[in-house]
Structure 1
């Protein structure tokens, strides 16, 4: 090991460590509006997906909870009638170490959702199939782009709220 001027061994930065301790469905709702209305015939769905993220520190040191909130709204392309509505809050509990404090926010809202997204995709596929529709296979979500868009939106809101001099 190298030594610095005061004789202490120089310590290499530790790589980030992340473990998924648990993951679970916090809340889920699936409404098959098509079946409730009794609509018949071939329908072409127009699917809209909204994604929100929430992260918070837990009481145990180095533990965080990240919730991926998904809203899938499907309407008929021809008539605009609702087909189904799926709302899913899927949470992951993470043990995270060796991430600098100034990098924790993006780490929680980019890397953690990437880890749990495949499970969310599977749930959405299974629920839509079991609900009587073709299985919906969500496209991969770019959590980095989502994070950057949210930061830009917040900066714009702050600029608009700031008093003009």
Structure 2
């Protein structure tokens, strides 16, 4: 077996791997809350699937001045109501990622508010499904989100895009 010798251009002359324009450095649950206000009585009369009201938002902020490192937060709130109007459960999740984004300023906003949450969404979806199932209810399975439409809606409302951009 031959030893591979590092050279100026990497191992055996191969180009070293360079980080891309978008790097997900870390992802984590920043906040998670699951409440069943009517427990245990709510389980005694639970005969139908609760109706879900889902609210979703995305925020991004620069972590350090003069550094292309951002925290992107995907915030999801799910209110589950029974047919009689009683609250079955409330689930709130803030799921975040730390991203290094090295690209032109005009591309920064759509990357932070569309592409980054698109990468985080499957993990947040899984957490909500598990916590609702573990809370005694059918798992909440969020439908795919159109982050482009969400971003465009925020822009139309004049919501500031990125804190400290």
Structure-2-length-normalised TM-score = 0.78
Match of 1:23 in 2: 27
SS in 2 for 1:135: coil
CA distance in 2, matches of 1:63, 1:39: 45
Root mean square deviation, CA, Å: 1.6
Mind listing any 5+ residue stretches in structure 1 that lack a counterpart? 1-15, 156-165
Map 1:54-69 onto structure 2 (within 5 A).
Answer: 54-59=59-64, 61-69=67-75
Mind listing any 5+ residue stretches in structure 2 that lack a counterpart? 1-19, 160-165
Match of 2:77 in 1: 71
Would you say the 8 A contact 2:129–2:141 is kept in 1?
yes
SS in 1 for 2:39: helix
- Kindly report structure 1 stretches of 4+ aligned residues shifted beyond 6 Å: none
SS in 1 for 2:150: helix
Match of 2:163 in 1: none
Would you say the 8 A contact 2:22–2:100 is kept in 1?
yes
SS in 2 for 1:61: coil
CA distance in 2, matches of 1:110, 1:68: 11
Would you say the 8 A contact 2:49–2:138 is kept in 1?
no
Match of 2:129 in 1: 125
CA distance in 2, matches of 1:38, 1:53: 32
SS in 1 for 2:128: helix
CA distance in 2, matches of 1:38, 1:104: 46
CA distance in 1, matches of 2:127, 2:146: 19
Match of 2:87 in 1: 82
After TM superposition, give the deviation of residue 56 of structure 1 in Å. 0.6
User: Residues 18-59 of structure 1: CA distance to partner in whole angstroms, max 9, x if unpaired?
Assistant: 111001111111002242444523133110100111101111
SS in 1 for 2:67: coil
Structure-1-length-normalised TM-score = 0.78
